[in-house]
Amino acid sequence: MLCYRKLMQQTIHSKQKPVSLASLVGDLTIFLLATAGTYFAQSLDRPITSVLIYLTGVILIGARSGVKKGIVAAIGASSIYNFFLSAPAFGFGVSTADEIVPLLAFNISAIVTAAVAGRTRDSAMSATLAEAKNATLLNISDRLQQAVEVAEVLEIARQTLTPYGVTHLEIHVRREGQLYDIEMAGQPVNALNALLKSRSDNGGRLSVKTCEMVGTHGDLGFVKFIFTEAMSAGGKLLDLQAVTNLLALAIDRCMLLDALSEARALQKSEQLKSAILSSVSHDLRTPLTAISAAASSLRSYEKSLSPAQKEQMLATISEQCTKLNRYTANLLDMGRIQAGISASGFEEIDVVEILGVVLSHVRQSFPKQPIRKEIASGETLVCANGVMLEQVIFNIIENSIIHGGGQSEVLISLRAEDGFCVLEVTDSGPGITRADQADIFRRFFRSESQVARGGSGLGLYIAKGFVDAFGGSLEVVSPVKDGAGTAMIVRIPLAASMPTGAPK
pLDDT at 6: 44
Low-confidence ranges of the chain (pLDDT < 50): 1-19, 199-202, 231-235, 451-452, 503-504
Q: Is residue 261 one of the residues assigned to a domain?
A: no
Strand order in the sheet with 371-375: 371-375, 410-417, 420-427, 486-493, 473-477
Q: What is the pLDDT of residues 12-57, one digit of tens each?
A: 444 444 446 788 888 889 888 888 888 888 788 787 787 788 778 8
Of 318, 338, 358, which residue is a domain's last?
Answer: 338
Q: At what angle do helices 459-469 and 307-339 cross, to 10 degrees?
A: 40
pLDDT at 350: 93
Q: Are residues 306 and 170 in the same domain?
A: no
Q: How far is CA 185 from CA 150, 240, 257, in A?
A: 10, 24, 18
pLDDT at 454: 53
Q: Are residues 204 and 231 in the same domain?
A: yes
Of 322, 338, 354, which residue is a domain's last?
Answer: 338
Q: Are residues 349 and 485 in the same domain?
A: yes
Q: Are residues 26 and 86 in the same domain?
A: yes
Q: Are residues 364 and 398 in the same domain?
A: yes
Q: Is residue 269 one of the residues assigned to a domain?
A: no
Neighbours of 318 (CB within 10 A): 12
Q: Is residue 257 one of the residues assigned to a domain?
A: no
Q: Are residues 125 and 236 in the same domain?
A: no
CATH number, domain of 467, equals 3.30.565.10
- Residue closest to 181 by CA, chosen among 170, 168, 192: 170
pLDDT at 16: 42
Neighbours of 485 (CB within 10 A): 22
Q: Are residues 449 and 479 in the same domain?
A: yes
Q: Is residue 55 one of the residues assigned to a domain?
A: yes
Q: Is residue 504 one of the residues assigned to a domain?
A: no
Q: At what angle do helices 2-16 and 97-144 cross, to 10 degrees?
A: 130
* Cα angle value 15/17/19 (rounded, 5°): 90
pLDDT at 272: 54
Sign of the Cα pseudo-torsion (364, 476, 454, 386, in order): positive
Q: Are residues 350 and 488 in the same domain?
A: yes
- Residue 463, beta-bridge partner list: none
Report the domain count for the chain. 4
Range of the domain at 33: 2-142
Q: CA–CA separation, 191 vs 193, rounded Å?
A: 6
